[in-house]
Amino acid sequence: MSARERGLTTDEVVARTRRFIRDVVLPAEPRTGTALDPASRRDLQRRAREAGVFAPHVPVRLGGLGLPLTEWSAVFQEAGYSPIGAAALNCMAPDEGNMLLLETIADERQQERYLAPLAAGEVRSCFAMTEPHPGAGSDPAALATVARRVPGGWVLDGEKRFISGADEADFAIVMARTPELGDDAATLFLVPMAAPGVEVGHPIHTLETAITGGHPHVRFAGCRVSDDDVLGAPGEGFRHAQVRLGPARLTHCMRWLGLARRAQDTALDRVRQRELFGSRLADLGLAQGLIADSEIDLTTCSAVIDRAARLLARDPRAGATASSIAKVHCSEAVGRVVDRAVQLCGGDGVTLELPLVAFLNEVRPFRVYDGSSETHRWAIARRAVARRGREVDAGEAVLDTPEARR
């Protein structure tokens, strides 16, 4: 049964998650940084199961609450109120996005071998697409890793970069070019990290630490996989990846929006208590402007996430632009909210006495991760121009130009 079939409304799941994060997760946060060690992660996940909030996005048959994508946001925001909250609920990147991809694309045997233990929190995973320049980064079409067919399977060769979670991953979902299936063909492969020919290489140290398992290079040198390890249809890797990438952008938005709400609450507590120039800080116009702008950013983020989730649930291709819009808006807005919170908290805001500096480090990379803001803006504009062209060509648009008005 899903959460609803169990008699739980989404609001009740949200309320449970809120209590669990505040009562259990916040006291367990590391004093410095936001990294969560494996033992602590396992303990928090055990307690999340006991609280009935574990894996809200996972099908009930796999031990989750079975919430649909359109109902994830409020729950994920509550989880994101702590940098370690999503890990405690087993809805943190990259595992959460890989679960959705495996649920949608994997066959029954692959789901049993890879998805079931991942959904249960027994193993970790990574998604190996990004590569060193000039390979795939913001432009997946630049994919350089190659898989060539051999009797009974494939051999992978190439280097990946910035593979989040790879240090702790038990398996990777690897995207590789398969040129014998077509010049632009790519295929997804399921590869155990312990397989011969897989090497976790140079670690990349970043601002944020909530995504445990690092962001290292991963090399595939003569790594052999069987035909059974192909995820989805051979040659359809780019299309299959969209199943993961659009919703994964949104869940990042949801989690970091929760963290921004925490930053705003921290600032609100400060302005209610602090007095300056004979008034509470909350009653001073300049402070009110910062507070109001953050409230606007928080509300608009929630709205664009909900819209994109509805469109993606209906049609992943139709929701691509909405997902890009949400990603750009939220990645920039949450940074503004946290930055304003630092400003409102004054000297304490830039110290480690409050968690706001760590929050800044967490949210800043999101403007680059999952496609930079500039890449998404390019895609949004290109689609808008193409959409208008189709409307005009179909006679569905009124041309409001000087020539048409003559």
Cβ 142 vs Cβ 161: under 8 Å: no
Q: What's the angle, vertex CA 58, arms to CA 163 and CA 358, rounded to 5? A: 45
**Distance of alpha carbon 289 from alpha carbon 312, whole angstroms:** 35
List per-block mean pLDDT (blocks of 10 residues) for the chain, which spans 406 residues.
66 97 95 77 96 97 96 98 97 97 97 98 97 86 94 97 96 97 94 98 90 93 97 96 93 98 98 91 95 98 97 87 97 98 96 94 94 95 95 86 73
**Distance of alpha carbon 384 from alpha carbon 302, whole angstroms:** 23
Cβ 125 vs Cβ 95: under 8 Å: yes
Tokens 């705003």 -> residue: 264
Q: For residue 175, what pLDDT is reported? A: 97
Which uninterrupted H or E stretch holds 305?
helix 285-314
pTM of the entire predicted model = 0.93
Q: For residue 389, what pLDDT is reported? A: 94
> DSSP code of 205?
-
**Chain-centroid distance, C-alpha 112:** 24
**Residues ≥6 apart with Cβ < 8 Å to 35:** 209, 210, 212
Q: For residue 2, what pLDDT is reported? A: 55
Q: For residue 220, what pLDDT is reported? A: 98
Task: Count CB neighbours of 5 within 10 A.
Answer: 9
Closest by Cα among 63, 215, 189, 52 to 132 = 215
Amino acid (1-letter code) at residue 129: M
- Which domains occur in the chain, in start order? 10-119 (1.10.540.10), 125-234 (2.40.110.10), 238-392 (1.20.140.10)
